[in-house]
């Protein structure tokens, strides 16, 4: 009779969440772990994202989570052993509405209270500092130098290599088809590579979070929406920061290799897994961005793809362990900002699993139980 394969923790999803969690579990000595990825590592939202890392949030808890993540990104090369093209070139947040600018003033006050060094810039100051930006219609901007960006593929590969070095296992092209629950407790997963017994299952399946959660009968309240994004041919490097606007609905950065990555949201997008791309997106985004960033005129688009935002009802992640099924944990619903917070989330969730409590960052407010209350604070700083 063949021996049953067993791990302490089985993680579903080989994106930034699954690999960050696997890395921190191994660091804490829990190396009996396996990550199951149905395709290749970073094939989900992570490998399709813009790689922005921002601490300028409207909720205090998101600021704390992002600040902890930045500390971990700053040490990534040294700790994890991979150069992920991490650049702290800052985030320039542009506001085109009086109402939003008022909210930004409040955000900055709170962010400074949290110890974040954030500047408020007038349109004139933006023009002086960045003469290549057309500030027509701009009401104000904020800037935080320690924000930045990194290459998401390299971050996942860095974590994955470290996991393997420490003795963890990663199964790519292996889909979890069902989760076995016995007497209200997780006991294993059935995959396209066979059955694996385990005590803990973590749902880190990004856009598929609710489908996977339904395997244990738990509704995580998440829904996925398509977001399109494109990359241009390379230009000489001169644009160090990520530029973003919630009222202007765009974000843009330059990669280490010179290409510009840019995208926008679409309020008419319907929930569902749709990986197609549209000409409408290219046309709308290109005409808007050439107006604000005139140097983009005649720069060619090289590639255009789509990925998913896994949305939660308050645009903040849903992270914790289930009360309904013992041994079932989740880190989902990042609502378009999961790459930047994943190191802090991975660290906190690993601590929760190993010690039963978090040591560095409080994530209790991200538990799904928050939706049982009547007041939910919605994060506003999302494109």
Half-sphere exposure of 120 (CA within 13 A, CB side): 13
Main-chain phi, psi angles of 7, to 5 degrees? -130, 155
Please, which residue, 52 or 248, has the CB nearer to ligand FAD? 52
Kindly state whether residue 339 participates in binding ligand FAD, applying the rule CB under 6 A.
Answer: yes
Kindly state whether residue 22 participates in binding ligand FAD, applying the rule CB under 6 A.
Answer: no
Candidate ranges 23-31, 39-47, 56-64, 178-186; the one touching ligand FAD (CB under 6 A): 39-47
Please, which residue, 139 or 352, has the CB nearer to ligand FAD? 352
Pair 178, 12: CB distance under 8 Å: no
Q: Which of 57, 309, 328, 330 binds ligand FAD (CB under 6 A)?
A: 309
Q: Which of 48, 64, 87, 370 binds ligand FAD (CB under 6 A)?
A: 48
Tokens 């688009």 belong to 301
Instruction: Name the nearest CA neighbour of 101 among 45, 127, 69, 140.
Output: 140
Shortest distance, position 44 Cβ to ligand FAD, whole Å: 2
Q: Which of 196, 337, 349, 368 binds ligand FAD (CB under 6 A)?
A: 337
Kindly state whether residue 208 participates in binding ligand FAD, applying the rule CB under 6 A.
Answer: yes
Give Cα 278 to chain centroid, integer Å.
23
The number of beta carbons lying within 10 Å of the beta carbon of residue 232 is 21
Q: How many residues bind ligand FAD (CB under 6 A)?
A: 40
Pair 37, 14: CB distance under 8 Å: yes
Q: Which of 17, 62, 107, 361 binds ligand FAD (CB under 6 A)?
A: 17
Which pairs from 373-378 meet CB under 8 Å and 24+ separation?
A: 376/313, 376/314, 377/59, 377/314, 378/314, 378/315, 378/316
Q: Which of 10, 33, 45, 319 binds ligand FAD (CB under 6 A)?
A: 45
Instruction: Name the nearest CA neighbour of 204 among 369, 378, 42.
Output: 42
Each residue 249-288 as x (binds ligand FAD by CB under 6 A) or -, in order, gives --------------x-------------------------
Pair 262, 229: CB distance under 8 Å: yes
Instruction: Name the nearest CA neighbour of 79 among 329, 337, 268, 347.
Output: 347
Sites for ligand FAD among residues 53-112 (CB under 6 A): none
Tokens 């995959």 belong to 191
Candidate ranges 36-44, 159-167, 178-186, 265-273; the one touching ligand FAD (CB under 6 A): 36-44
Q: Which letter, b or e, does each residue of 151-161 get, where b requires 16 or more Cβ atoms within 10 Å of its Cβ? A: bbbbbbbbbbb
Q: Which of 90, 148, 206, 320 binds ligand FAD (CB under 6 A)?
A: 206
Q: Which of 44, 148, 265, 343 binds ligand FAD (CB under 6 A)?
A: 44
Candidate ranges 23-31, 277-285, 287-295, 337-345; the one touching ligand FAD (CB under 6 A): 337-345
- In order, the DSSP letters of 171-199 are ESS--EEEEEEETTEEEEEEETTEEEEEE
Shortest distance, position 122 Cβ to ligand FAD, whole Å: 26
Name the residues that contact ligand FAD, by CB under 6 A.
Answer: 12-18, 36-39, 43-46, 48-52, 175-176, 204-208, 212, 227, 229, 263, 307-309, 334, 336-340
């Amino acid at each position: 009779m063949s021996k049953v394969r067993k791990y302490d923790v089985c993680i579903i999803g080989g994106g930034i969440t699954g690999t960050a969690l696997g890395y921190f579990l191994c660091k804490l000595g829990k190396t009996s772990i396996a990550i199951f990825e149905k395709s290749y590592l970073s094939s989900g939202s992570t490998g399709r994202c813009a790689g922005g890392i921002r601490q300028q949030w409207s909720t205090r808890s998101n600021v704390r989570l992002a600040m902890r993540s930045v500390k971990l990104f700053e040490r990534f090369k040294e700790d994890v052993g991979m150069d992920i093209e991490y650049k702290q070139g800052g985030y320039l947040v542009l506001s085109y509405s009086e109402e939003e600018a008022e909210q930004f003033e409040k955000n900055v006050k709170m962010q400074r209270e949290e110890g974040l060094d954030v500047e408020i810039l007038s349109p004139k100051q933006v023009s002086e500092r960045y003469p290549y930006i057309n500030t027509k219609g701009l009401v104000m901007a904020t800037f935080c130098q320690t924000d930045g960006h990194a290459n998401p593929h390299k971050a996942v590969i860095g974590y994955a290599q470290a996991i393997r070095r420490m003795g963890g296992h990663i199964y790519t092209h292996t889909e979890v088809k069902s989760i076995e629950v016995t007497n209200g407790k997780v006991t294993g997963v059935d995959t396209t590579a066979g059955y694996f017994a385990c005590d803990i299952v973590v749902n880190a399946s990004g856009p598929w979070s609710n489908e996977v959660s339904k395997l244990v009968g738990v509704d995580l309240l998440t829904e996925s929406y398509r977001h399109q994004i494109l990359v241009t041919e390379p230009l000489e490097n001169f644009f160090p920061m990520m530029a973003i606007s919630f009222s202007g609905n765009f974000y843009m950065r330059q990669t280490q290799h010179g290409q510009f990555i840019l995208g926008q949201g679409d309020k008419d997008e319907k929930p569902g897994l749709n990986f197609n791309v549209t000409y409408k997106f290219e046309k709308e985004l290109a005409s808007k961005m050439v107006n604000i960033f005139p140097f983009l005129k005649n720069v060619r688009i090289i590639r255009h793809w789509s990925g998913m935002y896994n949305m939660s009802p308050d645009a903040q992640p849903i992270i914790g362990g289930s009360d309904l099924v013992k041994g079932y944990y989740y880190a989902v619903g990042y609502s378009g900002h999961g790459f930047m917070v994943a190191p802090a989330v991975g660290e906190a969730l690993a601590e929760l699993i190993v010690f039963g409590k978090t040591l560095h960052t409080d994530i209790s407010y991200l538990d799904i139980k928050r939706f049982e209350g009547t007041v939910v604070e919605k994060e506003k700083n999302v494109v």
